[in-house]
Structure 1
Amino acid sequence: MSINRTELVAQMAERSGLTKAQADSALGAFQSVIIDALSEGESVRVTGLLSVERVERAARTGRNPRTGEEIQIPAGFGVKLTAGSTLKAAVGK
């Protein structure tokens, strides 16, 4: 089971006393802050909840799964998410 954006916004609105439009706006702003920070090479830490950072990935050799042919995968960036202590404790229950 998973919660989609609409359900998340509805729960945020209910728990915060905001309207759904305000909760959706807040979620959109949170998303924008994370995207902007990561694109500038900064990390985002929400103490107890999570940490999000951009990580470099080195160029490497991979394989085409259909043909088995070796291919060169260029260097690039990825995103690393780390759960905070409060989130880890909640999941461990």
Structure 2
Amino acid sequence: MPLYEYHCKSCDQTFELRQKFSDAPASECPACGGSVEKLISQSGFSLKGGGWYGDGYGGSKAAPAAPACPSGGNCAGCPSAS
């Protein structure tokens, strides 16, 4: 069930209520009985990463190839490895 945030106009208290989508919005403060207004608050999740579209349908970009080692792939023989 979603969590909704309300603000009381009388006692200036902010509180949260867990309600069903089908429930009517709260109309009075549980502390003082004053009228309340529903607040718009920031969501608790964010979408990160490529997601299904970027991973499956957006086309994939090949990773750049690693630079070839002049010694045939064995970096122990490279002058910069010593």
> TM-score, normalised on structure 2?
0.22
Q: Which of the pair is proportionally richer in strand? A: 1
Q: Which of the pair is proportionally richer in helix? A: 1
Structure number with greater Rg is 2
